[in-house]
Structure 1
Amino acid sequence: MLKKDLRRKYSKLRKDISVPSLINSSLHISNRLLQLPIWSLDYYHIFLSISQKKEIDTSFTVSILQGKNKNVVVPKVDSNGKLLNCLLSQNTKLKKSVWQIPEPVECNEIPSKLIDVVFIPLLAFDTQGNRVGYGKGFYDGFLKECRPDVIKVGVSLFEAEKSIADVSTEDVPLNYCVTPEKTYTFPSS
């Protein structure tokens, strides 16, 4: 399938999911993440959920990271459309952006090269580790600024598609993708 068709399909599937099912799936994903070999590292970049788009509730994973005394980094889009990496602390005040994304009001910026693991939002992914996001390219640009060995973990409410027809050279593949039912490991990892 083409990315535009996958976006349409998975946006509808997400829209139709119930809030209790979304919370349950988010909890399962957080528990599955604990099985990945990523927990000895220091800096973890994680998106904060857009509740209106019924994204996976990442608050469970943020709590796990904080409980393990990890450096939690969240994104903020600057005026040039670039993702900034903001250190999340107990005192961080959040405000919803124009896209309804909770973002830090003030950003204690962390260089992309310091980040060890990135949890990546997505609408769909395939069995080769390619992903479909919202189409703005924020994460592809950001991931190219990270170290080559950064671990890229997608989280998805739905299982993998067989393939994405229009993958480009600009697309950065995942190392893992975790769903409520399964953990996928990709050859690139």
Structure 2
Amino acid sequence: MKTKQELRSAYRQLRKSLKQEEVEVKSKAINAQLQKWLEGKDSIQHFHLFFPIDRFNEVNTFYIQNSLDQKGKTLYTSQVNKANTELETLKLPADAAFFLDEWGIPVPQESIMVSPGKIELVFVPLLAYDKSGNRVGFGKGFYDTFLSTLNNDVIKIGLSFFEPEEAIQPEPHDIELDYCITPEKVFTF
């Protein structure tokens, strides 16, 4: 079994090898899979999105944002509070304009800091994941800390261009995904 560090390195390289057009095509396919998955789940109204760091070839979640905006859903994102290295929850206005922070993360120019208590579904960034819903992120622990503050019934969905690993050794603080959406299918854990 590969270590988390080995997986981080391998998946960073895999993502780096993707051309920009591939990232866009696969991101649109992930959004299409999500929209299919959401059929019949109209009660889910509050979604937390991460936005892509372009240089890391992350899933372009602006497609998801647009689809959910059109359905009238309430959207949130986060920004890092540098003082305590925790994620603060921001409510996204419709038609939000973005700027890039020092890490290259798109942050809304106008937003309202809110309690994360209403969030029902979180899209979780990742580099790799396994067939049990364990994930490897960038190693800072921001999302595991954030997820640990939310209601237990919040749906956690990873987004990935790639298939799952067989197994990833979780650490005690790791929080498992409920689903992972790829361009081809939705994995349920």
* From 116, 119, 122, the counterpart of 1:118: 122
Deviates more, 1:52-61 or 1:77-86: 77-86
Q: Residues 69 and 94 of structure 2 are in contact (CA less than 8 Å); yes or no, is this contact kept in structure 1?
A: no
Partner of 2:94: 90
Partner of 2:105: 101
Distance 1:57 1:91 in 2: 17
Q: Residues 85 and 110 of structure 1 are in contact (CA less than 8 Å); yes or no, is this contact kept in structure 2?
A: yes
Q: CA deviation at 1:109?
A: 1.7
Gaps of 5+ in 1: none
Percent identity, aligned pairs only, is 37
Partner of 1:184: 187
TM-score of the aligned structures, taking structure 1 as reference length:
0.93
Distance 1:39 1:22, change over 3 A: farther
Runs of 4+ aligned residues of structure 1 deviating over 2 Å after TM superposition are 35-40, 90-95, 104-107
TM-score of the aligned structures, taking structure 2 as reference length:
0.93
Partner of 2:143: 139
* From 51, 54, 70, the counterpart of 2:54: 51
Superposed CA offset, 1:105-125 (max 9, x none): 454122122100000110000
Distance 1:15 1:60 in 2: 21
Count of matched residue positions in the alignment of Structure 1 and Structure 2: 185
Distance 1:122 1:91, change over 3 A: same
Cα RMSD after superposing both structures: 1.3
Q: How does 1:10-49 map to 2 (within 5 A)?
A: 10-37=11-38, 38-49=41-52
Q: Does 1:159 align with 2:160?
A: no
Q: Residues 43 and 71 of structure 1 are in contact (CA less than 8 Å); yes or no, is this contact kept in structure 2?
A: yes
2:133 partner amino acid = G
Gaps of 5+ in 2: none
